[in-house]
Structure 1
Amino acid sequence: MAIIIQLDVMMAKRKIGLMELAEKINITPANLSILKNNKAKAIRLSTLDEICKALNCQPGDIIEYVEDIDGKQNEA
C-alpha cells in the first residue's frame, strides 16, 4: 500500500508557494517540504485540517491511496 500526498498539485492549482503556505498553516518550510515531496511517514490530522483550510480543499484532493501490485508499491 502507498499513500501519496499530492500537495504540490493543489498548491499549483491555488497558486500558492511553499513559504506562503507554511506561514499560513504555521509549520516550518522544511516540514512542509517533507510532506510535499512524499517523504513524511505520518501527518497529524490538525496539520491536514490546516492545509485543507488554507487551500480550500478536501483531504481527498491531496491524499491518494494506491494499492500494491505483486507486492511492490506503485509510484505516482
Structure 2
Amino acid sequence: MDIIVNLDVVMAMRKVSSKELAKAIGITEANLSLLKRGKVKGVRFETLAAICNYLECQPGDILAFKAQE
C-alpha cells in the first residue's frame, strides 16, 4: 500500500512556492521538500492542518491512498 502525496500539485494550483509555504507553516524548506516527495514516515496533524489552512484545501486533496495490486 502506498500513500501518494499531491502537495506539489495543490501548491502549483494555488501558485504557492515552497519557500512561502514553509515560512507560513513554520517548517524548513528541506522538511517541506521531503514531505512533497513522500520521503517521510509521518506528518503531525498540526502540520497537516497548517498546510490545509494556508492552501485552503482538505487533507484528501494532499494525500491519497493507492492499494498494492
Report the TM range for the smaller structure's normalisation.
Answer: over 0.9
Structure 1 residue runs without a partner (length 5+): 70-76
Structure-1 separation of matches of 2:4 and 2:47: 16
By relative contact order (CA 8 Å, sep 6+), the higher-ranking structure is 2
Which residue of structure 2 lines up, in the alignment, with residue 72 of structure 1?
none
- TM-score norm. by structure 2 comes to 0.97
State the TM-score, normalized to the length of structure 1: 0.89
Provide the secondary structure at the position in 1 that maps to 2:11.
Answer: helix
Unaligned runs of 5+ in 2: none
Q: Secondary structure at 1:27's aligned position in 2?
A: coil
2:53 is matched with 53
Name the structure where helix makes up a greater proportion of residues: 2
Greater Cα radius of gyration, structure 1 or 2: 1
Moved over 3 A (4+): none
Shift of 1:4: 1.1
- How many positions carry a matched residue from both structures? 69
Identity %: 52
Q: Are 1:44 and 2:44 matched, yes or no? A: yes
